[in-house]
Amino acid sequence: MSLVEAFGGGLIGWASMFSLLLLLIGLAFGLIRLTIGPTLADRVVALDFITVLAVSFIAVLAVATGEPAILDVAIALALVGFLGTVAFARYAERRSLQAKAPLHSKDVQDKLQENKDDR
């Protein structure tokens, strides 16, 4: 029970311990989904979830250690995580469009037609 003692003991120490355990289980679930996720979008969703989980982790640590300054880290992490998710989503969308584009775009088809004519 030395970990509970490290968090100040008492009700808050026990509650922090239990919360950290639950968050750790959630982190394990998120990491499994990040590993097996069949598509890129699944992995982006898992990363977004892990960011939210890290924010709550930091909040629990702020309570456990009695240090309110850690909360600023949580806010900054939420901001960066949101920007990262948006950037990933735009990247996935653009990558799929580029993968589809050569089949449909007109100049590529014209070029293919020219090659056929040369032969």
Partner 1 sequence: MIVDIITAILMVIGSALVCIAGLGLLRMPDLIIRMHASTKAGTLGAGLVLAAVGIHFVDVAVASRAVAAILFLLLTAPVAAHMIGRAAYRTDLKLWERNIMDELRESETLRRREAEVQAQNARDAGSTSSSSAP
Q: How far is the CB of 107 from partner 1 (least distance, A)?
A: 22
Q: Which is nearer to partner 1, 6 or 112 (CB)?
A: 6
Q: Which is nearer to partner 1, 104 or 116 (CB)?
A: 104
Whether residue 53 contacts residue 27, with contact meaning beta carbons closer than 8 Å, is answered with: yes
Residue 5 one-letter amino acid: E
Cβ neighbourhood burial of 60 (10 Å; 0-12, 13-18, 19+) = buried
Whether residue 33 contacts residue 44, with contact meaning beta carbons closer than 8 Å, is answered with: no
Question: Is position 18 an interface residue for partner 1 (rule: CB under 8 A)?
Answer: yes
Among 5, 42, 111, 118, binds partner 1 (CB under 8 A): 42
Question: Is position 26 an interface residue for partner 1 (rule: CB under 8 A)?
Answer: yes
Q: How far is the CB of 116 from partner 1 (least distance, A)?
A: 29
